[in-house]
Amino acid sequence: MADHQSPPKDQTTSERIAAHLRDAILSGEISPGSRIRQEEIAERLGTSRLPVREALRMLETEGLTQLEANKSARVPALDRDELDIVYEMRERIETLALRLSLPHLTAQQESDLYRIQDEIEANDDVGTFLELDRRFHLVVGQRDQGCGERKPYDRKHDHSNMCAAPHAPPNTSEPC
C-alpha cells in the first residue's frame, strides 16, 4: 500500500494506520468489497492488532469500513441504485456548498477552482476525474478546514467517489 504523505508526528499509531488505510481505500488500492484482515495489516505495518482494530473502528465511523465478527473488516460497496441516490444528493449539496463558499474564498482559491475545472473538462480518464473532483471540493471546503475533523460531507464525497469507479464507463468522465 502506497504511503502518499508522511503522517504528522503527533498522531497515535491508530491514527497513522487509519490514515494509511484511508489512503489505500480512497485510491482504490483496497477496492470496495475487499476484506481487510487485522493480523495481515498488523504484520505488514509491524504493530499489534490493537491499533489496527482501533483504526478500523475510526474508518467505520467515516463509512469506509464495516467491521466483521471474525477480526476483519470489509470495504463497503454501493450498488448502482445507491450510487445514483448519493450522486443526486451530492449535486444538491455541492451546489449549495459552492454558493456559500464563494464569497469567502481568496483570489488564489478561486483561481485554483477555475484551473481545476479546466482540467476536469479536458480530461477523459475516470481516475483522474475523481481525483480532480476531490481537489475541487477540498478547495471549496477550505474555509471550514480549521476544526481538525473531517466533515461528514467530505466522508460521503470520498465514499461515493470510491464506489463510483467500478461503475464508471472506461476512459470517460461521463456520469455513471
- For 5-34, what is each residue's pLDDT tens digit? 455 567 899 999 999 999 899 888 999 999
HSE, CB side, 13 Å, CA atoms: give it for residue 32.
17
Q: In the structure, what pLDDT confidence band is assigned to residue 143 with cuts at 50, 70 and 90? A: low
Q: How far is CA 78 from each of CA 29, 134, 159, rounded to the nearest angstrom?
A: 17, 18, 9
Strand order in the sheet with 35-37: 35-37, 72-74, 66-68
Residue bearing cell 464563494:
102
Comma-separated ranges of CATH 1.10.10.10 domains in the chain: 13-74
Phi first, then psi, for residue 74 (nearest 5°) are: -130, 145
- Chain segment 64-87, per-residue pLDDT in tens: 999 988 778 999 988 889 888 988
> At the topology level of CATH, where does 13-74 sit?
Arc Repressor Mutant, subunit A (1.10.10)
What is the enclosing helix (H) or strand (E) of 68? Answer: strand 66-68
Minimal CA–CA distance to 157: which of 77, 31, 67, 63? 63
Give percent of the chain above pLDDT 90.
38
Terminal-to-terminal C-alpha distance of the chain: 28
Most confident of 86-100, 109-123, 160-174: 109-123
Mean pLDDT confidence for 104-131: 90
Q: Where are the beta strands (DSSP E) in 13-57?
A: 35-37
Residue bearing cell 467515516:
62
